[in-house]
Chain A
Amino acid sequence: MPRYMVHRTFPDGLQIPVTEEGAAACLGVVGKNADVGVTWVHSYVSDDKQTTFCVYDGPDPEAIRRAAERTGLPVHQITKVSVLDPYFYR
């Protein structure tokens, strides 16, 4: 399945508390993603919490957008990516 990097922006900052509430929010995202066949692998969040880069597996860019629509998360840009591992060349 192709892998995508999803660039999102949160002008007011992304607030996910490290509490049960935060955990539930994340699980909610996972569940809604699964409905449309995409998997959230993990994300990188900028220090100001205004930008995230989220790694997703999914069948096509439309599925990534469907998932975003369901979770209410913004999409700035979707890029198809593959893994480049520096130690592969040793």
Chain B
Amino acid sequence: MDLLERERELELLDGWLGEAAAGQGRFVLVGGEAGVGKTTLVNRFCGMARGRARVLVGACDALSTPRPLGPLLDIAVSAGGDLDQLVSENAPRDRIFRAALSELDAGPTPTLAVIEDAHWADGATLDLLRFLGRRIGSVPALLVITYRDTEVGPQHPLRIVLGDLATSGTCRRLLVPPLSEPTVRALAAGSPIDASELYRITGGNAFYVTEVLASGTMGIPPTVRDAVLTHVARLTPAGRAALETAGVIGSTVDPWLLAAAVGPDVDAVDECLTAGLLRADGAVLAFRHELARAAVLDAVSPVRASALHRTVLEALRARVTHQNDPARLAHHAEAAAHRAAVLEYAPVAATRAAGLGAHREAAAQYARALRFATDLPDEQRQPLLTAQRLECHLTGQMEDAIAAGEALLAIARRAGDHPAEAEHQAWLAWMLVAAGRNVEAERASRAALDILAGIPPGPRHAFAFSVQAGLRMLNRDSDDAIAWGERAIALAERFGDAEVRVRAINTVGSARLVAGDEERGRAALERSLDLAREAGLEADVAAALSNLGSALGEIYQFPLAERYLTEGIAYAAERDLDRWHWYMVAWLALTRLFQGRWTEAASLAGSVIRHPGATAISRIMALVALGRVRARRGDPEVAAVLDDALALAAPTQTLQRLAPVRAARAEAAWLVGDQNRAREEARAAYDLAHRHGLRWHVGELAYWLWQTRDLVAPSPDAGGPFASQIGGDWAAAAAQWRELGCPYEAARALADGDEAAVRQALVEFDRLGARPAAAAAARRLRELGARGVPRGPRPSTRANPASLTTREVEVLALVAAGNTNAEVAARLFLSGKTVEHHVSAVLAKLGARSRREAVRTALERGLLPQTGGVQTPT
């Protein structure tokens, strides 16, 4: 078909290839419904670009469980060299990914790489797209990804990758629209078919239109499937059989395989080519469109399909080549219901997929093998179940992982193998807690410990003890967590289990930190971090950084928390460890909230909440940060986010999630003057916090109970500044908060003080944009009989004629107080460069030539808070 009305799309692609040639790599997402003409467009563009660019093309296949890295295998064959070498020897996947990236940067001309049908991509290919997408900006390459936008729903794994990449500046989108009516008319010219009718029925779907025209019928078949079958009906029985065999083989068809499966009748294949149903595509044959293959396959009876798959399977097995992909063999074996072949190929395919990081496909291959393994003896099912449990666990398919774990438990019980039974119970406990089934998790962990109590210590003890330590830590039973953790560490060292050791040390450190033992907690986590680095356990490095950041945040050590979180976010982003990445971003949002940097807090929190791949725990912490920013600003839509947070936190039944959510809800209620609800929210988690004796959680909840007149005596467990404030020492509380770098909390303490303190609090609330707290402070001042307290908005919330941002005013105030840039940077936890940037922005906005002039202008125009920031009350 001639390429009609695609000039605009071709022009856009050409422009982006130009940008790529200039060193600014781009990736383009080409979306559109099946048959709309994405491939035709991209093929045409490849044709135009040849000579100016190296063209590499790969396609994802429509197998129920696709080949891992399928499209890269295609590309490697045509690219040759290093990449081909690494792929064919099953190299570790990060080496393959890096080789793919350098392949894009390999020639004297830019590279145009095309990955077709990404809606069928396997897990490893999705990771590859993410890896390339995040790095392509500095490579002279254009990466074109086609996909059916109609098949990528909100839960589709590709959607998560696309959402991730779409925010980067290197991403471009192209939506291929259906053909217009004039174009359909032009195509139908000379055919007896009514062009308007053709346009109406096909909706301008390019494949449908051309199929109707090619089939040479008089009427218009009502669906694209009917159009294909009308076309197929004109073949001889032999031609039709060949076409069906080709359909069973797959999207691309090796001629030798088709010949081997069809038998000696070569004319039958020629007939399909002549009829335009198959086309030669380089060395292989292919259907003109995947829609045609689907229509042909749909019309084959199940019995015949099974027989055809068996023929193809036998032909593949008869000729051993290096291209004999086990995933493909397993696919035909299952479709042919060939039990022995499934059990031979599916586990091999699974191992290969797992090695490439395609864990979803690995899990599916094990599940496939297990479907045919029901009557195998236990000792043969056991390795399959063990592997399936791990792969499901890695991909978050917790219910399947738990089912595999339960089957393993049953096997161990039948064999009377008590140590194995204990190990399976410990595994179950760990998976149940990840699935939010905490009660069952406790039971399983308990069962493991009971069995092991009667057995001499071994490596299984180390593992089961570390699981129990983890459960206790997550539940914030710190003493128990430390005790179990230390036993696990000792055994792991004795039996040389590096992973259990790293994790148990992490658990002990985290438990110590949240319990307030900062020094020993940090030391243990730093140790776990070093050991994980040495052993190359990347996920454990991220876990240590994440736990350091979040646990230090939980005890209000924000400058330290910030350091680990920033490092951890960069580490996790570089390695695509998304689970940790988003959790640390959520905790950085909370850190910014308490540091008074609300705009940053809200935008970090928003990025987590909008990311479909963020886990529930990341989402809870981000929702808390966003809800608190809105509540403190007096902005709308607080309830919506804090209700979501509670809905996610409630099923966990753990203090770690419930305390922050309840405290945020108490604060929000208090800020809108609803004392009763504030009290109820604080009550809802107070007893739980008290039982665990965690002073910071107890502290904030006790504070809200005290503010709502529900608690008169200070709680012995309450943490630092909260205790001071409840005890009536607002000045000490304010000083402690300032020491911790929490300006809003400091002002909130001052607001409980004498007239001078409340005035200071008011200035600070205005600076932060804390409207409800400012209004309350102003009210209190009037009650204290202070004069000159304006009603309504106060000066600093009014028009700021120079439109300085809150941050710029803050920097300027410190400059005015005589601080150097380095001192400002230290005070505000910023880098020197960022401070420089703020200062020059201030100079530009005020039209000042020097810092001194800027300060003078700002003072004249009343842009600075009169007190020059919060001072210690004296």
**Contact residues of A with B, CB < 8 Å?**
2, 4, 8-12, 60-62, 65-66, 69, 72-80
Contacts and interface: CB of A to CB of B under 8 A. Distances in A.
- Among A8, A78, A80, chain B packs the most CB atoms within 10 A around the CB of A78
In the complex, the 10 A-B pairs of residues with the closest C-beta atoms, listed nearest first? A72-B803, A80-B636, A61-B635, A74-B799, A62-B602, A76-B793, A9-B793, A11-B798, A10-B799, A78-B635
A62 B610 CA distance: 14
Interface of B: 599, 602-603, 606, 630, 633-637, 769, 771, 792-793, 795, 797-800, 803, 805
Contacts of A12: 799
Contacts of B635: 61, 65, 78
A45 B668 CA distance: 31
A76 B771 contact: yes
B803 A62 contact: no
13 contacts: A9-B798, A10-B798, A60-B637, A62-B603, A65-B599, A66-B599, A69-B599, A69-B803, A72-B800, A77-B634, A78-B634, A78-B635, A78-B636
A22 B634 CA distance: 31
B461 to A, nearest CB: 51
B637 A80 contact: yes
B800 A9 contact: no
- Among B603, B769, B799, B803, chain A packs the most CB atoms within 10 A around the CB of B799
A72 B800 CA distance: 7
A66 B633 CA distance: 14
Contact of A62 (B606, B771, B799, B800): B606
A33 to B, nearest CB: 15
Contact of A61 (B637, B792, B793, B799): B637
A54 to B, nearest CB: 13
A60 B799 contact: no
Given A10-B799, A66-B599, A74-B797, 4 more contacts: A11-B798, A74-B798, A78-B634, A80-B636
Contact of B636 (A9, A72, A73, A79): A79
A75 B798 CA distance: 8
Contacts of B633: 61, 65
A9 B771 contact: no
A69 B805 contact: yes
A11 B795 contact: yes
A75 B603 CA distance: 18
A75 B766 CA distance: 12
A62 B793 CA distance: 20
Contacts of B798: 9-11, 74
Nearest to B634: A77
Contacts of B599: 62, 65-66, 69
A74 B800 contact: yes
Contacts of A2: 637
A11 to B, nearest CB: 5
A75 B793 CA distance: 10
A19 to B, nearest CB: 20
B628 to A, nearest CB: 13
A51 B635 CA distance: 18
Contacts of B636: 4, 61, 78-80
Contacts of A11: 795, 798-799
Contacts of B603: 62
Given A61-B630, A62-B603, A9 B799 contact: yes
Contacts of B803: 69, 72
A42 B340 CA distance: 73
The interface residues of chain B, by DSSP majority, are classed as: loop
B593 to A, nearest CB: 13
A78 B769 CA distance: 12
Nearest to B603: A62
A76 B291 CA distance: 57
B37 to A, nearest CB: 31
Contacts of B606: 60, 62
A8 B799 CA distance: 8
Given A9-B792, A61-B636, A62-B606, A73 B630 contact: no
Nearest to B798: A11
B795 to A, nearest CB: 7
A72 B804 CA distance: 8
Nearest to A78: B635
A14 to B, nearest CB: 8
B346 to A, nearest CB: 46
A8 B798 CA distance: 8
Contacts of A65: 599, 633, 635
Nearest to A13: B799
Nearest to A62: B602
A4 B803 CA distance: 22
A9 B766 CA distance: 14
Contacts of A4: 636
A46 to B, nearest CB: 12
Contacts of B634: 77-78
A73 B801 CA distance: 9
A10 B798 CA distance: 6
- Among B630, B637, B769, B793, chain A packs the most CB atoms within 10 A around the CB of B793
Contacts of A10: 798-799
A73 to B, nearest CB: 7
A77 B771 contact: yes
Contacts of A73: 799
B354 to A, nearest CB: 40
A29 to B, nearest CB: 12
A89 to B, nearest CB: 26
Nearest to A70: B803
Nearest to A80: B636
B443 to A, nearest CB: 42
Nearest to A69: B805
A65 B637 CA distance: 14
B798 to A, nearest CB: 5
A60 B798 CA distance: 22
Contacts of B797: 9, 74-76
A75 B806 CA distance: 12
A38 to B, nearest CB: 14
A79 B771 CA distance: 13
Nearest to B845: A72
Nearest to A63: B606
A78 B771 CA distance: 11
A12 B798 CA distance: 10
Nearest to B636: A80
Nearest to A65: B599
Contacts of A62: 599, 602-603, 606
A4 B805 CA distance: 22
Nearest to B638: A61
Nearest to A81: B636
A73 B800 CA distance: 8
A12 B799 CA distance: 9
- Among B602, B603, B635, chain A packs the most CB atoms within 10 A around the CB of B635
A79 B635 CA distance: 7
Contacts of B805: 69
B166 to A, nearest CB: 14
Contacts of A61: 630, 633, 635-637
A61 B640 CA distance: 13
A12 B862 CA distance: 13
- Among A2, A12, A65, chain B packs the most CB atoms within 10 A around the CB of A65
- Among A4, A60, A73, chain B packs the most CB atoms within 10 A around the CB of A60
Contacts of A8: 799
Nearest to B805: A69
B448 to A, nearest CB: 46
A43 to B, nearest CB: 15
A33 B422 CA distance: 61
Nearest to A76: B793
Nearest to B799: A74
Contacts of A60: 606, 637
Contacts of A9: 792-793, 797-799
A22 B86 CA distance: 65
Nearest to B797: A76
Contacts of B771: 76-77
Nearest to A12: B799
